[in-house]
Amino acid sequence: NPKKLRIAIDGPASAGKSTVAKIVAKDLGYVYCDTGAMYRALTYYALQNGVTPEDEAGLVELLKKMKLRFDPSTAIQKVFINNEEVTEAIRQPDVTNNVSAVSAHGEVRKQLVKYQQLIAADGGIVMDGRDIGTAVLPDAEVKIFMVASVSERAERRFKENTEKGIMTPLETIEKEIAERDYKDSTRAVSPLIQAEDAFLVDTTSLSIDGVVAKIKEIIAKQQ
């Protein structure tokens, strides 16, 4: 009976984390947890309630009133705030453009990290984000740091947007991604950084299947 591992996948926007994490979790019969969705949900709720992304105390108050629920049984992990489904709403550009400011606050992170650690407590989980290998699960059995060039990531996001009918120009997306990379990597609390014991996977010229195969190889070595 193989161990129920904790698999941490970190990296910048559109590196392919969630796509690959979902496939790997399904194959292993593990739970998949998208921690970015938590920061996005709080950002969405803040914008709805007129709390600015800079207002740390206001955000912490809001977190207390916010019942966050994930439905991992569906192919697309559904997200609910106080029983309202926000799965689509938390991917909209205004949320994307404010989420790095919201997630930079230490008190906000403290609360959400606690929740993430609770979800991962029994193992058998693939969790993706920015600080999983460094702060949320520093003793995870498998750590992956997934990267790709900014231009490749911008093109991937552009394609995704086009399918959803979001018409932001490619150059704008590239600029926004670079800006978010910068904010996430330079914040004082739990910045986006490769853990010392994480495997680096560059997906720039890899297919999704290629990335999955690579990660399975890494996991096999830890089992």
**Residues of each annotated binding site for ATP:** 11-19
Q: Residue from 8, 13, 28, 63 that binds ligand CDP (CB under 6 A)? A: 13
- C-alpha 15/C-alpha 152 separation (Å) is 9
The verdict on 18 binding ligand CDP (CB under 6 A) reads: yes
CB of 172 to ligand CDP, least distance (A): 15
CB of 144 to ligand CDP, least distance (A): 11
The verdict on 14 binding ligand CDP (CB under 6 A) reads: yes
Using DSSP bridges, classify how beta strands 142-147 and 6-10 pair: parallel, antiparallel or unpaired: parallel
The verdict on 92 binding ligand CDP (CB under 6 A) reads: no
Q: Are 177 and 12 in contact, with CB atoms under 8 Å apart?
A: yes
- C-alpha 81/C-alpha 44 separation (Å) is 10
Output 2 or 198, the one with its CB closest to ligand CDP.
198
- Beta-carbon contacts of 111 under 8 Å, excluding residues fewer than 6 positions away, are 60, 63
Site string for ligand CDP, 102-121 (x = CB under 6 A): -x------------------
Output 28 or 173, the one with its CB closest to ligand CDP.
173
Structure tokens, 104: 């930079």
The verdict on 156 binding ligand CDP (CB under 6 A) reads: yes
- In 82-215 the beta strands, taken as DSSP E runs, fall at 84-85, 125-129, 142-147, 199-202
Binding to ligand CDP, residues 42-81 (CB under 6 A): none
- C-alpha 3/C-alpha 82 separation (Å) is 35
The verdict on 28 binding ligand CDP (CB under 6 A) reads: no
Within 13 Å, how many C-alpha atoms sit on residue 219's CB side? 23
Q: Residue from 28, 125, 131, 198 that binds ligand CDP (CB under 6 A)? A: 131
Structure tokens, 34: 């998208």
Total residues at the site for ligand CDP (CB under 6 A)?
Answer: 27
- The conformation of residue 194, written as its DSSP 8-state character, comes to -
The verdict on 98 binding ligand CDP (CB under 6 A) reads: no
Residue type, 128: D
The verdict on 134 binding ligand CDP (CB under 6 A) reads: no
Residue with tokens 């996948």: 9
- Contacts to ligand CDP by CB under 6 A: 11, 13-19, 35-36, 39-40, 99-100, 103, 129-131, 156, 160, 180, 184, 203, 206-208, 211
